[in-house]
Amino acid sequence: MAAATTAAAEAGLQYTPIDAIPGIVSDLRAAFLTGKTRSIEYRKNQLKQLAYMFKDHQDDFIQSLQKDLGRSRFESVFAELMGTTNEIVETVNKLDKWAKPAKPWAGLAWAAHGATVRSEPKGTVLVLGAWNYPITVQVGPVIGAIAAGNTVLLKPSEVAGHTAKLLAELWNKYLDPECFRIVNGGIPETTAVLDQRFEHIFYTGNGTVGRIIAEKAAKWLCPTTLELGGKSPVYVDKSADLAIAAHRILWGKSFNCGQTCIAPDYVLIPHELQDRFVAELKKAYERFYPQLKGGVNASESYARIINTGHWKRLNAMLSGTKGKVVLGGEGDEAQKFLAPTVIADVRVDDAVMSGEIFGPLLPIVPVRDVKAAVDFINSRDQPLALYLFAGDSKVKQFFFDNTRSGACVQGDTLLHFAVDALPFGGTGPSGYGNYHGKASFDQFSHQRASLDAPSTGILGKIIEAVMASRYPPYTDANLKKMRALAAYSVSFSRPNNPHQSKTASSVSVAS
C-alpha cells in the first residue's frame, strides 16, 4: 500500500492498493453492461440510500468536517449536508420527468418517424473531488451520475482525510458495491485511476491538475467536466447599499475561512467610496465576531485553513502585499488560524492580485467607475463567479452585458450555488460543463437521437412510396420532390451586409 500524505495518515485514511484499481474499474464496467443501473427505480433507491447515509450519520460527518477544516456545525449543515440532501430529494422527485424520452416536433416531413431524444447513461464515470467542501463537491456530482444511470467511481480528496475515511467506511454499507465504488489515494493512485477507461470524468479542483485530467481523458476521447476556480471579482457601485454589501461580501469571504471556489476574491470600488465601505466592513466584522466574546479567534463560527502548507501560502501573500491592512491580519500557524483580513488601496500588480487567494484575504482595488471595473475584469481570465452590488438598473445591465463569467450575481455572494434550478460551472479557465439539479442529470447523460421509421405494414409502404425519390438513379425531378418534402425556402429578406462589395455580391450571385 502506498504511503499516505501526513494529513491522510493522521486521519487513518487507507489508500487503495494501486494494483487493485484496474480490477475495480473493470468490475464497474461489467456491472454497467448488466443493465442494472438502467432501471429508474433502482437509481431512485440508490439515491434514497445516499440520503439515509447522511441522515443516519449527520453527526459523524459534522465531526469529520470539524477535524478536516475546523468548521462549525452551522456551516457544515448549511453548506454541505442540507444542500446535498435537498439535491437528492429533488432528484428523486423529478427523475421520472427528467428521464422521460423527449419527443421534439421535427416538422411535417418527419411526423411519422417518431423522432425522440433519449437521455441515456454514458457508462462508467469517474468523479474526482476537492477538499474544501468534501461532501458538496465530491458526493454532489455523484447524485447526477447515479440519477443518469451510470456506474460510478468516486476518488475523494486525500487532503480532507477524515471525511474521505468516513465516506470510504459508509459508501458500500449504503450503496450497491457492484455499481458504486470509492478509491482513496494521492497522486500515484489518482494517476492509476486516470489510466483506466471511463465514459465521463468529472473533476473539481485547480486548473493545473484540470489540464492533467483533460490530457489523460483525451487518450480515451472521454468527455470531461472541469469545475475549476480563479479570482471571482466583486464590483461595488456608488448606487449600492454599502452596509448590506459589506455584510454579504464579508460573509462570502469568511465562510469556510475563504476556502470557497466562488468566494469573492477581491473588491473593485470607486475611489471615493473605499473608506465608507471599509467602515461598514468593520461594523459587519464586529457583528459576526464580537470583541466582547473574544473576537474571531475565539469564535466557534469561524473555520481554519486546511493545512500548514496553505496557511504559509496565504501568509506569504499577506506579507508580500503593498496594500494597507485595515482589518484583521492576525494569524497563528499552530492553530492554522488566519483572521478575515481586508487590504485597502491594493494595486493591480500586488502579490494578492496574481493567483486565486482561496483564503480569508480581501483586497480592495479602487477604480474610477463601473466602466473601469468592466475593463479591469475583461483584461483577466473569465471568473467562476462575478458579483455586483448596485441599485441602478443601467449599471446592472451594463455590467453583466459587457463581461463573461461562470455565473453573475447582483446583490449577494455565494448563494447561486444553493439554487439547484441554476446550472453551476465555469467558462474559459474557470472550467467547463455544468451541474446541479437537472443540469447534473444532463451532464452525465448522453442525448441519444432516435427515429422509429415506419418500415412495415401499410404505413411502411406509404412512407416508402413518399421517400422513394431519394434512391438512385438520381434525377432532377426526384431532387425537386425531395426539396418539396423537406427543404425550407429562404423567405426572409436579405440583411444589410457592409462587408460585401457590389462586385463580390454579383460574383456570389453569378456562382
Residue number with CB closer to ligand NAD (326 or 357): 357
Residue 358 lies near ligand NAD (rule: CB under 6 A): yes
Binders of ligand NAD in range 427-446 (CB under 6 A): 431
Instruction: Choose the catalytic residue: 179, 222, 257, 261.
Output: 261
Task: Output the nine-digit C-alpha cell for 422.
Answer: 441554476
Measured from the CB atom, the residue of 28 and 326 that comes closer to ligand NAD is: 28
DSSP secondary structure letters along 294-353: THHHH-TT----S-HHHHHHHHHHHHH--SEEEE---EETTTTEE--EEEES--TTSGGG
Question: Which grid cell is 135?
Answer: 461532501
470 grid coordinates: 431519394
Residue 224 contacts residue 214 (beta carbons within 8 Å): yes
Is residue 129 within 8 Å of 101, Cβ to Cβ? no
Nearer CB in complex with ligand NAD: 340/425: 425
Cell for 444? 452525465
In the complex, minimum distance from the CB of residue 192 to ligand NAD, in angstroms, rounded to a whole number = 10
Asked if 232 touches ligand NAD (CB under 6 A), the answer is no
Q: Binding to ligand NAD by residue 157, rule CB under 6 A?
A: yes
Measure the CA–CA gap between 63 and 100, rounded to whole angstroms.
40
Rule CB under 6 A: choose which of 68, 80, 158, 442 binds ligand NAD.
158
Q: Which is nearer to ligand NAD, 137 or 365 (CB)?
A: 137
| Position 317 contacts ligand NAD (CB under 6 A) | no
446: left (phi over 0), alpha (psi -120 to 50) or beta: beta
Annotate each residue in 103-142 with x if it binds ligand NAD (CB under 6 A) or - if it does not, as one string: -------------------------xxxxx----x-----
Rule CB under 6 A: is residue 151 a binding residue for ligand NAD?
no
The footprint of ligand NAD on this chain (CB under 6 A) covers a number of residues equal to 28
Q: Does 228 bind ligand NAD (CB under 6 A)?
A: yes
Residues from 8 through 37 that contact ligand NAD (CB under 6 A): none
At residue 121, φ and ψ (nearest 5 deg) are -65, 150
What residues contact residue 334 under an 8 Å CB cut-off, 6+ apart?
none
Number of other residues whose CB lies within 10 A of the CB of residue 439: 18
Q: Are 373 and 235 in contact (CB under 8 A)?
A: yes
Provide, rounded to whole angstroms, the least separation between the CB of residue 130 and ligand NAD. 4
Q: Which of 139, 181, 194, 130 is nearest to 159 (CA)?
A: 130
Residues 6+ apart with CB under 8 A from 302: 72, 254, 257, 289, 296, 340
* Position among 227, 237, 350, 442 found at the interface with ligand NAD (CB under 6 A): 227
Catalytic residue among 227, 257, 280, 356: 227
Instruction: Compute the distance between CA of residue 329 and CA of residue 325 in angstroms, rounded to an integer.
Output: 7
With cell 429533488, the residue in question is 90
Q: Which stretch binds ligand NAD (CB under 6 A): 221-229, 297-305, 311-319, 465-473?
A: 221-229
- Residues 190-209 vs ligand NAD: string with x where CB under 6 A? xx------------xxx--x
Site string for ligand NAD, 246-265 (x = CB under 6 A): ---------------x----
Shortest approach of ligand NAD to residue 212 CB, angstroms? 5
Catalytic residue flag (residue 158): no
Which residue of the chain is nearest ligand NAD when measured via CB? 229
**Would you count residue 224 as binding ligand NAD (CB under 6 A)?**
no
- State the Cα–Cα distance between residues 39 and 406, nearest whole angstrom: 34
To ligand NAD, the closest distance from the beta carbon of 121 in angstroms equals: 23
Q: Check binding of 270 to ligand NAD (CB under 6 A).
A: no
Backbone angles phi, psi at 452, to 5 degrees: -125, 80
Asked if 261 is an active-site residue, the reply is: yes
Q: 191: which residues sit within 8 A by CB, 6+ positions away?
A: none
Residue 384 makes contact with ligand NAD by CB under 6 A: yes
Residues at the site binding ligand NAD, with contacts judged by CB under 6 A: 128-132, 137, 155, 157-159, 186-187, 190-191, 204-206, 209, 212, 227-229, 261, 356, 358, 384, 426, 431
Enzyme catalytic residues: 227, 261
